Amino acid sequence: MKITDIKTFPIFHGSRNYLFVKVETDAGLYGLGEFGITWKEQAGIGAIEHMKRHIIGLDPLNTEYIWQLLFRADFFPGGRINAAAMSAIDIALWDIKGKALDQPVYMLLGGKMRERIFCYTGIGGKTPADSAHAGQQRVAEGWKYLRMSVDDRNGVLEPRTAVRDSIAHFAAVREAVGPEIEICIDCHTRLDPPDAIRLGRELEQYDPFFIEDPLRCENPQSYRHLRNHVSCPLAVGEHYATKWEFRQMIEEELLDYARIDLCIVGGLTEARKVANWCETHYIKIVPHNPLGPVSAAACAHLDIATDNFAVQEGGLVGRPVMEDLFPVQLPYEAGCLLLPDAPGLGIEFNEEAAASYEFKWLSGPQLRREDGSFTNW
């Protein structure tokens, strides 16, 4: 069996773009992947077009060889755009491998570790009472894990104000849902150490499951400083491409939960290595999944086969999207993804339906401080 083509499908749906990838073979089997860096889809298409010249004609079952080839063939190691392009191709190759062997991908990753995959869902509101009500609604629907965010006020993010607001919202949700429901809070890298320390210390009394991405990702040393002042569990890693960017965070145990993004880190091949590395440090994985049905499926297969799995970002769980494009998606019930039993990733793609979708040039949201300066979204 040989790879014959790699096709890209930039799709606008709802309020955002997605970039799906289809790897075709001479055996009639195809695999699906998804590019993970939102607002950089055209850059991803360019990277994939370049990479496919290296691998047309190769055996798609040789996933490790192809991964090394794509990462190292052009001498200069690729950055996050290249890693996300590799991720899409790699996930598609695992899909093909599962179909060729007539097995779900999780069986090729070690087999079934669990019967279902607990997920978390996002909540929020303009006031603490609104957030509390949203939390109660999700719990009534069956969700056991909730996630809140450190939010702006009408496009202005003043860190100390955002921290005060977050503490008030978190306290209200905890009181509303009780001690048995797990609550996470995502800072979206919006804070610097002084404000992150204040947030962590104030939230300790409300027992957060974790604080996610309190600091920017460029300087892991900052997490050592934060670690020395905060006892709340920390979840970090959605920005990291390849195992090397995770290295210091894992080896120095600067995180408690690894937020591996399969569509950025290097696909299932690389995510599995990071997860196994985390296991040696008793770090659990919480895969990042803000994307579409392919990303969700890839995450699910890793989750099923990984012992040190904690919880899955829900993303679109419970809300099937683009059902004309993906007529078969993963099964779910309240708060959980269920195990697929079809070969490969267990999803199907209607290429003809893709022609009805357009692509829109978009850029990410931008936040400002009160003085007009730029800050992280």
Q: Which tokens belong to 352?
A: 């003809």
- What is the C-alpha to C-alpha distance for residues 46 and 19, in angstroms, rounded to an integer? 12
Please list the helix, strand and coil fractions of the chain in percent, rounded to the nearest 5, in that order. Answer: 40, 20, 40
Instruction: Name the nearest CA neighbour of 22 among 6, 44, 11, 34.
Output: 6
Instruction: Name the nearest CA neighbour of 139 among 349, 364, 335.
Output: 335
HSE toward the beta carbon, residue 69, CA cutoff 13 A: 17
Angle at CA of residue 213, ends 318 and 299, nearest 5°: 40
- H/E stretch holding 8 reads strand 3-13
- What is the C-alpha to C-alpha distance for residues 278 and 149, in angstroms, rounded to an integer? 25
Q: Which tokens belong to 173?
A: 């949700």
Strand partners, 183: 146
How many helices and strands in the chain, by DSSP H and E? 13, 15
The catalytic residue positions are: 188, 288
Dihedral (C-alpha) 266, 269, 271, 275: value to the nearest 10 degrees?
Answer: -150
Q: Which tokens belong to 204?
A: 């300790």
Query: In the chain, which residue ranges form alpha helices assigned H by DSSP?
Result: 41-55, 63-72, 80-101, 105-108, 128-141, 159-177, 193-203, 221-227, 242-251, 262-265, 267-279, 293-305, 351-354
Q: How far is CA 321 from the centre of its chain?
A: 17
